[in-house]
Amino acid sequence: MSSPQINSHQKSWMTSIRKIVLAMAIVMSVFSAGAKPAAADPPAALDDFVRNAMRQYNVPGVALAIVDGDKVFVRGFGVRSIGKPDAVDGDTIFMIASNTKSFTAALVGTFVDQHRLRWDDKVMDYLPEFVLKDGYASRNCTARDLLAHRSGLPAFTGDNLESFGFSRAEIMRRIRFIEPACTFREKAGYSNPGFFAAGMLAAKLGGDSYEHLVEKRLFEPLAMTRSGLSTKSCCPDKNVADAHCPLPDGGSRVVSWDDADPLGPAGEITSTAKDMANWVRMLLNNGALDGKQILTAECVHEMHTPAMVEEPSFAELAPIDFHCGFSYGLGWGVYQYQGHQIIEKGGARTGMRSIVTLVPDRKLGIVVLANQNLTVVPEAVRAYLMDNMVAPAGRDLQTEIAKAHQKISEVFGQKPAPLTSATPSLPIEKYAGEYENELYGTVRVFTDGGKLRWQGGPAKITGSLTPIGYDSFSLAWPAGRISLPETVTFTIGPDGVPLTLATETLGNLKRIKH
């Protein structure tokens, strides 16, 4: 049987119908993919879990925010300071530490959104003072390279430029003296100086300070009214968490807040659970908050797209493992959990921890702030919520996290055994003098009451040097720092005079003055 003839008018009409049906299908598909799931309240046992975790890991206080669809849950637990009654609440201010990096990436993204920068533009074209030791890396390093830790800068190297008290201009100049860990884009290296440089790139583009740009472009439109950008001036009132370090006996002691300002774009932001909930809401809503488009959807997508593969380290806890596809996005970590892509960033400074976890397809966000360092409470709480609100893990995440905590405690948290002082090969005063390298400048070694000490940087940071045998000494950092004592060695010349001081943290320093 032959097909009926279709005239040109009918054909045009049918083509139009097909286009309409196809368009409706696309719209419905997009709507379904972006539709918010029915909001669910936090698990009924959440409060008990958080309090038990705080007891288990000896944490004085925790602030928690959960964004679930259109609902926001904010709650405080415990106290702001050990031994005092003032309770933590959703407005209590904490250091968010390296969660600052996500804001730095977003700040750079605001200039991308304005078409004043592209993620893959070369940093040197906008910030000529940015120089790496490897010439090829200097000429080709992009904003994306800095924000995804793939510039070749080694992990955590150069961090002491902050504690030594160098100015931002001097830190920028000294980055060129950091020895690369690998060739350009070969491996990831978690670099705080790299993120500092990204923040300085944004400052150059904006013709203003990094701090003022974050306030104007992010904090103000996000209504983050209690968030700040300097640990020196973060406190509009007394609702501020003290920083705590664990004691070997299981207790805690209050320590001073870090001065995070010199490397600010890597870790200086202070905030609250309530303010951070607005940050999370915006990111889960494709850059918009309460009808205001703060970042474009393309910008958020780019930040949350893997840009550099990385192997999980001691800092990444369950459910992160070697099978989850852990990578760096731009200012974030990215991994897979039970069929869901997870966007996450943790932070740690002396006395505080933070974590922000996003489950975009579930429209779920989690913020956990804790006023103690060397603790896994943020990871434990977010793992509990993922297990109960996203999908069952199929494994015991809390046992895995507890085991990781035990290892961390064995390395950082235990009281070191007393040093058995040994007689050095030279009289103690012979080691005194000035030692120098390009990265950290001059370190002065001097005697004080018959003992050897060291001092470095404009801040005159200081610590002891205890002899442990021959020409090796145990170098201790100031009290309150997480840094462990390290063994350092003087190299003695043929005339019996020390020539160099070799350290793991500061590198090799050449003697320049007796």
Do 377 and 368 meet the contact criterion of CB atoms below 8 Å apart? yes
Mean pLDDT of the chain: 90
Residue 467 CA neighbour count, 13 Å, CB half: 18
The whole-angstrom separation of Cα 496 and Cα 514 is 13
Average pLDDT over residues 241-257: 91
Among candidate residues 265, 281, 238, the one with its CA nearest the CA of residue 93:
238
- Confidence (pLDDT) at 229: 93
Residues 200, 146 contacting (CB under 8 angstroms): no
Four-point Cα dihedral 241, 243, 246, 252, nearest 10 = -50
Residue 502: alpha-carbon gap to chain centroid: 29
Mean pLDDT of 490-503: 97
Which of 304, 347, 294 has the alpha carbon at shortest distance from 327? 304
Query: Is the pLDDT at 412 greater than 90, yes or no?
Result: no
The residues with which 508 forms a beta bridge, in sequence order, are: 502
Q: Quick one: DSSP state of residue 98?
A: G
Bridge partners (DSSP) of residue 383 are none
Tell me how far apart the alpha carbons of residues 71 and 54 are, in angstroms, rounded to a whole number.
25
Q: Please tell me the predicted confidence (pLDDT) of residue 179.
A: 97
Q: Is the dihedral of CA 259, 262, 267, 273 positive or negative?
A: positive
Task: Report which of 279, 220, 271 is spatially closest to residue 92, judged by C-alpha positions.
Answer: 271
Give yes or no for residue 339 having a pLDDT over 90: yes
In contact, 351 and 371? CB cutoff 8 Å: yes
Query: Taking Cα atoms as reference points, which of 49, 104, 91 lies closest to residue 277?
Result: 91
Reported confidence tier of residue 258, pLDDT bands at 50, 70, 90 = confident
Q: Is the pLDDT confidence value at 422 over 70?
A: yes
Q: What is the dihedral of CA 9, 14, 17, 22, to 10 degrees?
A: -140
More confident residue, 200 or 23: 200
pLDDT value, residue 102 = 98
Contact 139, 124 (CB under 8 A): yes
* Fold held by 46-413: Beta-lactamase (3.40.710)
Integer Cα distance of 378 and 375 in angstroms: 8
> pLDDT value at position 498?
97
- The pLDDT of residue 514: 82
**pLDDT band at 25, cuts 50/70/90?**
very low
3-state secondary structure 185-244: CCCCCCCHHHHHHHHHHHHHHHCCCHHHHHHHHHHCCCCCCCCECCCCCCCCCCCECCEE
**CA 497 vs CA 5, 93, 475: distances in Å:** 105, 52, 20
| pLDDT surpasses 90 at 6 | no
- pLDDT, tens digit, 9 for 90 and up, residues 282-312: 999 999 999 999 999 999 999 999 999 999 9
Q: Could you list the beta-strand ranges (E) of 69-205.
A: 71-78, 94-95
313-335 pLDDT per residue, tens: 988 999 999 999 999 999 999 99
- pLDDT score for 248: 81
Average pLDDT, stretch 447-454? Answer: 96
Residue 462 Cα to chain centre, angstroms? 26
Would the pLDDT of 23 be above 90? no
Q: What is the pLDDT of residues 49-102, one digit of tens each?
A: 999 999 999 999 999 999 999 999 999 999 999 999 999 999 999 999 999 999
- 346: Cβ contacts below 8 Å, ≥ 6 apart: 98, 99, 315, 316, 333, 353, 354, 355, 378, 379
Segment 255-261 mean pLDDT: 89
DSSP H or E run through 147:
helix 143-147
**What are the tens digits of pLDDT across the range 185-241?**
999 999 999 999 999 999 999 999 999 999 999 999 999 999 999 876 666 689 999
Residue 277's contacts (CB-CB under 8 Å, 6 or more residues apart) are 65, 67, 72, 74, 365, 367
Mean pLDDT of 418-437: 90
- What's the whole-number mean pLDDT along residues 252-275? 94
Answer whether residue 8 shows pLDDT above 70. no
Does the pLDDT at position 147 exceed 60?
Answer: yes
Report whether pLDDT(273) > 60: yes
In the predicted structure, residue 418 carries a pLDDT above the cut 90 = no
Ramachandran angles phi, psi of 96, nearest 5°: -95, -5
Please state the domain extents for the chain: 46-413, 428-513
Mean pLDDT computed over 360-370: 98
What's the Rg (C-alpha) of the chain? 26
- Our CA dihedral for 328, 331, 335, 337, rounded to 10 degrees, sits at 170
Report the percentage of the chain scoring pLDDT > 70: 89
Tell me: pLDDT of 40 over 80: no
In the predicted model, is pLDDT for residue 11 greater than 50? no
pTM of the model: 0.91
Please determine, for residue 18, whether its predicted confidence score (pLDDT) is greater than 90.
no
> Would you say 349 and 371 are in contact if contact means Cβ atoms under 8 Å apart?
no
User: What's the pLDDT at 35?
Assistant: 40
Angle at 95 between CA 478 and CA 173, to 5 degrees: 65
DSSP state of 171: H
* Fold of the 428-513 domain: Lipocalin (2.40.128)
The secondary structure of residue 91, as a DSSP letter, is T
The distance from CA 61 to its chain's CA centroid, rounded to whole angstroms, is: 20
pLDDT at site 17: 33
What pLDDT sits at residue 24? 33
Percentage of the chain surpassing pLDDT 90?
83
Amino acid at 113: D
Which pLDDT tens digit goes with each residue over 100-146? 999 999 999 999 999 999 999 999 999 999 999 999 999 999 999 99
Higher-confidence residue of 417 and 388: namely 388
Contact 446, 453 (CB under 8 A): yes
Residue 442: its pLDDT value, please? 98
pLDDT of residue 121: 98
